[in-house]
Structure 1
Amino acid sequence: MSRVLPWLHVYVFSYNRGDFLANCIASIQRHLTDVAVWVVDDRSNDADTQAYLADLPEGVGLLQSQAHESSRHGGLYNNMQMALEHAASERAELALFLQDDMQVVRDLDADDQENIEGFFAHFPQAAFLNPLFLKGMRKRRDQRITQVADDYPVYFRHYPEKSNPRGISYADAMIANVPRLMAAKWQFANGETVNAEQADKLFGKMGMMLHPFAMFLPEVPVFRGKKKSWAVAKAEQLRGTQPNRFFGMTSRQIAALKERDVATVLPVAEDYLVTERDAKRPFTYSQINVYPWLRVIHKLAQKFAK
């Protein structure tokens, strides 16, 4: 860990998706040089994931939760708290939180670093900055609610009719200002909505990068490592279980991202990122949603199982 820059630590939250985790870590090491990288594993019991964790790439550390929880999110939020406290003990200024089904898609350069650090300097109350591309399925809504700040190159969302600040003040994938969270005695709660509510009160709105560098992979298998319904298993059979990786952005794609009119053209994933295999557009982020008929069958199976 001697090559670590003090301004950023990276934490990847993992459970039973070894191939996805390996892809996420490889993308970080390919595009983010000289950062500390940690896998925060939720006690994976999948053999492939355990094999990967036993032989992590050089420079990648491992933190493991005490026990996997059976709730919808597993132990994610407890693990995020553990990562935050670890980052504080390492005296990290900023911590990038990613999940194993995400990928870093381009290099960060000096301008990106200056913009990220400058955001937190310019907004002394802010604690979160979102580094992800926007989803094409929500493009029309995002065009309406996403605006460039008057005095700094960053987006904020203005969504007055929304009943809660989820996606406005907080998201589970973010760049976090570690000292500010610790000073506020921040504790991750079990759910994005409740975390957004406390973030809104403590820190106000979350910034969103004009030039993002990471994104969810499309069409990720669901309920990996759990009992699958017939519909989920059928979706896996039709779409496969391996990550549909993004190609790293080319210099031309990066130039198009950074030279666009940011006030009118949002950074939508489908406009800048290319997958290795064909993917339904706009991207869908769960395999079951690729096939509406399978989703209906799956929902019915869940209903009758209760």
Structure 2
Amino acid sequence: MTILTVCIFSFNRGQYLRNCVESICACIPEADIVIFDDNSDDPETLAYLEKAGDFCRIVEPREVGTIKHGGLYHNMNAALDLLRDSPMLCFLQDDTQMVRPVSSSELKEIGELFEKNPGLGFVHPCFIRGIDLKKRQVTPLAGPAPGFFYRQDTGQSAGIHYSDLVVFKPGRLVDAGWCFRQSEPANDTQARELFGMMAYMWLPFAMWLPEVPAYRGKKKTLGLRLAEKKKCVGFYPFKLLSDDEVEQVREHEPPRLPVAEDFLECTPFSPPVPWTYNPLTGLRLLKNVNNLEVAFRRWFKS
């Protein structure tokens, strides 16, 4: 049985989905890939899903999502139910990618980390977003093993016990009675109650792509469209870290805080730093326009 199954949650971003899948194939060729698509309807995505069906498992949603992340958490629960007997799962989304090779021995080490720490629920495989450091500093705490650390709780709503991008043992979640709730903060609260702190990697292997076109409830508002234009959103995939770069990170003492902008480079060029992951970040007026339109939509539907 494959040590790791990677689940990708997808909607209407064919170019990004392709990049995510290709990065997994390049970095963990032995991994199984399962794509949970949220009823995409654009031709590019549908064409790629048909092609990817030759070497990936494609799963359609079981429920229609009504919350702001579409059917994301419904599909996460479907993944947990469908793959509950898998040794280890990694949840990614179509606007993320793998950034370095991960060997079978490293995957076994992550599996052993869970075995040696029965209260550990999740490992976060991604770099820290530089933009987050503007809100609060990240203070690393001693982790469950040398290659991992915990993050000091400074009162944020998520990211201490849970993230939507995680590695975990599905059987452990099932045994604990876990059910994915409809927001990241709600899941962070659940993870705190059932497990404890999430482990961060000093040498992560995945990351969100910066400045990606965003979908909210599957239909873009005027405020969101204007924000995307202002931010020059686009396709900025990461170059894979070389073996030498990986080794330099491993050997650095003390370990450097894994902030994405300090380690990763986009192609054909990197957007200005700090990178953002929601076009509305830092644009208060357009964010208010977006929120107003979303409120009107909900009111007219009620």
Check whether TM > 0.5.
Answer: yes
* Alpha-carbon distance between aligned partners in 1 of 2:233 and 2:100, rounded to the nearest angstrom: 24
TM-score by length of 2: 0.88
Corresponding residue for residue 302 of structure 1: 291
Which residue of 205, 210, 213 corresponds with 1:218? Answer: 210
User: Does the CA contact (< 8 Å) of 1:210 and 1:262 recur in 2?
Assistant: no
CA RMSD of aligned residues (A): 2.4
The aligned residue for residue 58 of structure 1 is 54
Specify whether residues 53 and 66 from structure 1 end up closer, same or farther in structure 2 by C-alpha distance, changes over 3 A only.
Answer: same
Structure 2: stretches of 5+ with no match in the other structure = 297-302
Q: Give the structure 1 partner of residue 300 of structure 2.
A: none
1:287 has 2:267 as partner:
no
Q: Conserved in 1, the CA contact under 8 Å of 2:239 and 2:266?
A: yes
Deviations 1:180-205, CA, capped at 9 Å, x for gaps? 11111211111111111111111111
Tell me what 2:261 maps to: 270
Counterpart of 2:116 in structure 1 is: 122
Counterpart contact for 2:98–2:206, Cα < 8 Å: yes
Match of 1:71 in 2: 67
- 2:129 matched to 1:135? yes
2:106 to 92, 112, 119: 112
Q: Return the alpha-carbon distance in structure 2 between the equivalents of residues 220 and 79 of structure 1.
A: 21
Structure 1 stretches of 5 or more lacking a match?
none
> 1:150 and 1:213, CA in 2 relative to 1: closer, same or farther beyond 3 A?
closer
Q: Write out per-residue CA displacement over residues 152-190 of structure 1, whole angstroms, 9 at most, x where no aligned residue.
A: 43111121x4165x2111111000111111111211111
The answer to whether the 8 Å contact 2:227/2:286 transfers is: no
1:79-98 mapped onto 2 (5 Å cutoff): 79-88=75-84, 91-98=85-92
TM, length-normalised to structure 1: 0.87
1:66–1:104: structure 2 CA closer, same or farther, 3 Å change rule? Answer: same
Assess if the C-alpha contact under 8 Å between 2:61 and 2:71 holds in 1.
yes
User: In structure 2, what is the equivalent of residue 36 of structure 1?
Assistant: 32
Q: Using the alignment, how far apart are the partners of 2:230 and 2:274 within structure 1?
A: 18
Fraction of identical pairs, as percent: 32
The answer to whether the 8 Å contact 1:19/1:242 transfers is: no
Q: How does 1:224-263 map to 2 (within 5 A)?
A: 226-237=218-229, 242-263=234-255
**AA of the residue aligned to 2:25:** Q
2:257 maps to a residue whose letter is: L
Mark the CA change 1:288 to 1:150 in structure 2 (over 3 Å): closer, same or farther.
closer
Take 1:220 and 1:151, find their aligned partners in 2: how far apart are those partners? Answer: 34
Aligned to 2:83, the other structure's residue is in SS state helix
Q: Which residue of 1 aligns with 2:187?
A: 195
2:21 pairs with 1:25 = yes
Is the contact made by 1:148 and 1:262 (CA closer than 8 Å) also made in structure 2?
no
Name the SS for the 1:55 alignment partner.
helix
CA distance in 1, matches of 2:134, 2:233: 30
Name the counterpart of 1:207: 199
Whether the 8 Å contact between 1:143 and 1:266 is mirrored in structure 2 is no
Contact 2:261 2:275 in 1 (8 A): yes
Once residues 163 and 296 of structure 1 are traced to their aligned partners in structure 2, the CA distance between those partners, rounded to angstroms, is: 24
- What is the CA–CA distance in structure 2 between the aligned matches of 1:140 and 1:241, rounded to whole Å? 21
CA distance in 2: counterparts of 1:62 and 1:195, whole angstroms: 25
CA separation of 1:246 and 1:141: change in aligned 2, threshold 3 A:
same
Q: 1:258 to 1:225 in 2, by over 3 A?
A: same
Q: Paired residues, what number? A: 294
Specify whether residues 120 and 59 from structure 1 end up closer, same or farther in structure 2 by C-alpha distance, changes over 3 A only: same
Shift of 1:95: 0.3
Sort the Cα spacing of 1:76 and 1:155 in 2 relative to 1 into closer, same or farther, 3 A. Answer: same
Secondary structure at 1:13 match in 2: strand
